[in-house]
Amino acid sequence: MKSWRVIAFDADDTLWHNETIFEDVHERYRALLATYHDRATVDRTLFAAEMRNLELYGYGVKGFMLSAIETAIELTEGKISASEIRTLIQLGQGMLSHPVELLDGVAEVVQRVSSHYELLLITKGDLRDQQRKLAKSGLGSFFAKVEIVSEKNEASYAEIFRDHGVAAEEVLMVGNSLKSDVVPVLALGGSAAHVPYHLTWAHEAVEKHPEAEGRFFELKSIRELPALVGV
């Protein structure tokens, strides 16, 4: 633990709620298309469109909504009305303007650990939306550096650590996604604390938990972080 110099945080569903907003829109989307297809078909087709378009649109609300409109046109065989498409656009606008709601304990924990460690924020998604959420969160001043990347993998983490002048072994990454926040950092020789969120996007699922004795930690909530890092 004493070798950690930097604590890096994920943002969505680690510091503030995000997937619940998507799930609420998913429910409204299913209802909109209920007269055409069952929810399983809607979910399967939408997810396939998101994966197909990920390289083109990237992560975030805007890419999701473009895939949702494309899927709606496909599943209705072009019968969806302009009014219904307008409804989809309004749902997306609502997501982009949604209030930022911090997870329980986040404000206190981030402030506490910032007094003892240098903090980084490493998140992926739409640049403008992530900047908006950080500004509204009230947490921005606690982070020495903010990185908003198109993908969170070994290469992107290695570049961030190199640019920041820190070795992977000196970093503890904190996040809710095993795929994006834990596995790549462990592969580089760093440490990671997994703080599960009650909802997980299918794209972030992994088949099994990673094994890295002394470097991988499972926390029930972010409130357990100060004890882990000794503050």
Task: Give the CATH number, domain containing residue 63.
Answer: 1.10.150.240
Domain boundaries, position 175: 6-16+101-229
- Residue 13 confidence (pLDDT): 97
Measure the CA dihedral 117/219/227/134, to 10°.
40
Q: How deeply is 23 buried, as exposed, middle or buried, from its count of CB atoms within 10 A (0-12, 13-18, 19+)?
A: exposed
Instruction: In the chain, count H helices and then E strands.
Output: 9, 6
**How many domains does the structure of the chain reveal?**
2
Residues 71 and 177 in one domain: no
Residues 161 and 63 in one domain: no
Residues 11 and 25 in one domain: no
Residues 113 and 78 in one domain: no
34 within domain boundaries:
yes
1 within domain boundaries:
no
Residues 126 and 69 in one domain: no
Residues 132 and 214 in one domain: yes
The upper half-sphere exposure of residue 128, i.e. CA atoms within 13 Å in the direction of its Cβ, equals 4
173 within domain boundaries:
yes
- Residue 210 confidence (pLDDT): 83
SS3 153: coil
Distance CA 113, CA 92 (A): 35
Question: Which regions in the chain score pLDDT beneath 70?
Answer: 1-2
Residues 133 and 69 in one domain: no
60: left (phi > 0), else alpha (psi -120 to 50), else beta? left
> Considering 77, 96, 115, which residue would you say is the last residue of a domain?
96
Q: How far is CA 28 from CA 12, 17, 20, 32, 198, in A?
A: 21, 18, 13, 6, 20
User: For the segment 7-21, what is each residue's pLDDT rounded down to a tens digit?
Assistant: 999 999 999 999 999
Residues 11 and 90 in one domain: no
> Considering 96, 122, 139, which residue would you say is the last residue of a domain?
96
Task: Give the CATH number, domain containing residue 201.
Answer: 3.40.50.1000
87 within domain boundaries:
yes
- Residue 63 confidence (pLDDT): 95
- Residue 204 confidence (pLDDT): 80
Residues 108 and 196 in one domain: yes
Residues 118 and 180 in one domain: yes
The angle, 0 to 180 degrees and rounded to 10, between the axes of the packed helices 82-96 and 19-32 is 170
213 within domain boundaries:
yes
What does the block give as tokens for 168? Answer: 């992977």
> Considering 96, 118, 150, which residue would you say is the last residue of a domain?
96
Residues 105 and 219 in one domain: yes
User: For the segment 28-69, what is each residue's pLDDT rounded down to a tens digit?
Assistant: 999 999 999 999 999 999 999 999 999 999 999 999 999 999
Residues 27 and 115 in one domain: no
- Residue 198 confidence (pLDDT): 85
- At 197, phi and psi to the nearest 5? -105, 155
Element (H, E) at 25: helix 19-32
- Residue 142 confidence (pLDDT): 98
